[in-house]
Structure 1
Amino acid sequence: MDATPHWDPHQYLRHATHRTRPFHDLLARVPRLPAADRPARIADLGCGPGNVTALLADRWSDALITGFDNSAEMLAEAGTRAGRTPGGGRLDFRFADAAHWVPDETYDLIVSNAALQWVPRHADSFAAWVDALVPGGTFAFQVPGNFTSPSHALLGELCDSPQWRDRLDGHGRRFVHILTPVDYLERLSALGCAVDAWETTYVQLLEGEDPVLDWVKGTALRPVLTALRDDPEATEEFLAEYRDLLRKAYPSGPYGTPFPFRRIFVVARRESA
């Protein structure tokens, strides 16, 4: 059984508009960066296919921006965006696992978009990441907070059922590594940061046939699809069972399928002195 999820950038990007909206909301709360007489240095931890990394260059046009990810598939897609930016900055992408990443240089901004939920004990790395910020620099991230919602609860229950337990035990819950907004605020405040933490539930209207299944195929289902990828028959059987559960939990309406999605946001600014 493969323990590392295999990612499909094209499946992930099928819902790019909905997936990108929380990143826009996160960036809107990032304060002015301390860089004044030089280009800002920015890291995007868990950059995925690089589509949101490129948005950083829209706001900080001359910044030197590096996206880090541990997926070869995602980095291959992100690499198509690498190079000089219209504002004179630069985008580049490198391999790094957020579970073990220790910055080897200082940054004005370290940002992470919907990635840390995959990293056990990620808050234990906050001290090293904050230490890598220049005075007045910012660490900002957002993570999904919907792991008790039907989409994820049903996935976990199905993986733990007698039929699938031997092959998929734990695969439906392995990404639940988030803390509460209060926990994040307390941990980063203790590291000398001014912290803004909040949560938002987006009611996304998904379109198409079985759109919730299509959504989770890009994220939460990746460990399951990876574990079953050498058995197409089992894959189809599992997806059919899960699809039927999702249809009951998220009935389609006349305008599409409403899909509530809670997100947790944190913006932590290191003290200037």
Structure 2
Amino acid sequence: MSWLNNEVALITGGGSGLGLALVERFLQEGAKVAVIQRSADKVALLRERFGDEIVAVQGDVTRYADNQRAVDATLERFGKLDCFIGNAAVWDHAASLTGLSAEQLDQGFDELFAINVKGYLLGAKAASAALIASQGSMIFSLSNAAFYPGGGGPLYTASKHAAVGLIRQLAYELAPKVRVNGVAPCGMASDLRGPASLGQDQLRIMDSRTPEAIASILPLQFFPDAADFTGPFVLLASRANNRTLSGVLINADAGLGIRGIRHVAGGLHL
């Protein structure tokens, strides 16, 4: 039996990578799915691929009005909202404190935190009334950088630690009506890019690393696909299988917690 039969989920950044894998998995589990995605090209591809199975809204998660528009479109099509997944993010390609100029640090912070933290907060605000009504859940995509240094530079790592605080605060505030949790994947192939203010908006996460290099530093010794991380999201969204988890962070790190991130040849970090 499908775990999410007739549930309705709204996923931010659902046009590629983990977000797209979540769209596919939630549909397979019987859910109805809506997406907010900044790229018009990715929105068009979603509509072409899934047709009327999903609601695809072009919008920017850093703008409250766009988040609210996505929630409204979801409610108009499906009549309710059971799960909000905050997933849209950018990565800083491990840009270091000493390697960034003061101006880059200033502008990079504003752009990266606007997407990775404010985008989660604004999406949660827009979805909160509908989720309280349905007694649903929120799930936020984190990263191994929410637990360990070396998963990015100081901008990205700080943003993911901020998201941890947001999850815990919202779990506290929205109880007992809404469960709020997070899933923290390790490295995977995706279209995750960096801030334009750092000149990284066309640089993908895998442009500077290889699957073999990532697999070599994971204790489980394989390179995960985005789909490999969707199971914990399904668990957390499921009403039948999760009545008790809120404020929980699932560290889906392929075993990195055994030893944390370590330096490897060439200074590569996961």
Relative to total residues, which structure has the larger strand share, 1 or 2? 1
TM-score by length of 2: 0.49
Return the index of the structure with the highest Cα Rg. Answer: 1
Relative to total residues, which structure has the larger helix share, 1 or 2? 2
Q: Which one has more relative contact order, counting CA pairs under 8 Å at least 6 apart?
A: 1
